[in-house]
Every structure is written in structure tokens, then in C-alpha cells.
Copies of this chain bind each other. A is one copy, B any other.
Amino acid sequence: MVKQTFLNLPKEKRERIIEIAIEEFASKPYTKASLSNIVNRAGIAKGSMYQYFEDKRALFRYLLELAAQEKLAFLKEAEVNSDVNFFETLEKVMLAGFRFNLAHPQLSRIVANAMEGTGEAVIQEFMMSGRKMACEYFMELLKRGQEGGEVSPDVNVRLTANLLNRILGEGLADYILEIMEVDLHEFLTKPEIAQNISEDTIKNIVNEAIRFLRNGLEAQS
């Protein structure tokens, strides 16, 4: 759906377009985001956008894929290794997600926008499949945790996977806004806010959340 034409573009131009598109889609819901705005700000012709992407949906989807890639990069960076310890793994996943949120608040916002309905079937399917994958990952993790004796055999794997998904995805994001005493718009437009949150703060939050989860899920010895 992205066209080769776009990928052939000089890196600088490509990135400027993406940056502006991200700003547009992060600052308003999908239907209000305007291609005209984007092309005007990017200084390119309206028609060019259609040489780069099949249509509005395709551009949006490209941004979502980009967000997914970027998040994956953070997970790689965190050296998540699902094979060892359940709670350790969970902590790493949380940390990675958290860091991604702070490093790319606008991309995170786009994902959130996409979650709650753009009115476009294609996008919805894409998000659903993403959510499914995430849930399956958590389910797999929980099952292994149960097999390894770390996670109580009593926990409902599917239910918990869903809760984890929501908690990790957005529960923590809400908390950030609250402790920073900032509203969403400020958070998105003033990058220094996100950047000034120290690694310590992040780790503390994650630790507390993990402790909470550990008690809730851990097998009683």
C-alpha cells in the first residue's frame, strides 16, 4: 500500500513528510486529519501524496506500521527473552513499552487514535490483528509461567492477557499524564516533557506495577 515511489525518495524528504503526517494524525482523529494540511505544510503537490500512498488509509496504516516497528526496536533493545523468567520478562516488556511511549509520544497517540475506530474497515482489521497478536503473546508467556511454576495455575490466562494488554498499553500512559500534571496536547507538542522523565522515575513506576502484578499472579509457595 505504500508505493515504491515513496521509499525511493531521498531520506530527508521522506522523513519530513512522515514527521508532518505524524503531527497531523496525532493531533486530530483520523477523519479530521487532512491530507491538504499535510501536503501544504510539507510543500509538496497534492497529487504527489498519491504517488507515495494509495490513499489516506494507506498513509495512516504506514504510520501504524512504523509505530509497530519502532516499538519492536524498543523491545529488542530491552533484550526481552521470553525463555527465562516470567516476571522479569514482563518487566522488560513494560519498560520497553514505557520508553517507547516517552520517546515517541505522537506515534503512541496515533496508535491510540486507531484503536478507537477510524471508521475504516481496513484499519480496524489491522488493529484487531495487532491486539490479537499481543494477547496471544501474553497468553503464551502466562502459560509458560504456569508450566515453570512461577504463575499460579489458577489464573485465567485469557482474561489476564487482556488485562495485561490494557494495563501495559494505556493504563500507564494515563498515569504519566497525571503525575506530570500535563494535558495530552501539551504532552504531544512539547517533546521536552517526555524527555525529562528520568530513567529512575520510569523504573519506579514499572517496579510498582510489577509488584502489583506479581502478587496478583504469582504461585503461592
Contact = CB atoms under 8 A, between A and B. Distances in A.
Interface of A: 28-32, 112-113, 115-119, 124, 128, 131, 135, 154-156, 158-160, 162-163, 165-167, 170-172, 174-175, 178-179, 183-184, 205, 208-209, 211-218
Contacts of A158: 175, 178-179
Contacts of A171: 162-163, 165-167
**Most B C-beta atoms less than 10 A away, residue of A112, A116, A178:** A116
Given A32-B31, A212-B155, A131 B167 contact: no
Number of copies: 4
A interface secondary structure, majority: helix
Given A31-B31, A178-B135, A160 B212 contact: yes
Contacts of A213: 216
A176 to B, nearest CB: 9
Nearest to A154: B211
A171 B164 CA distance: 8
Contact of A184 (B29, B124, B159): B124
Nearest to A166: B171
Given A158-B179, A166-B166, A171-B162, A116 B124 contact: no
Contacts of A179: 158
A113 B117 CA distance: 7
Contact of A216 (B112, B162, B215): B215
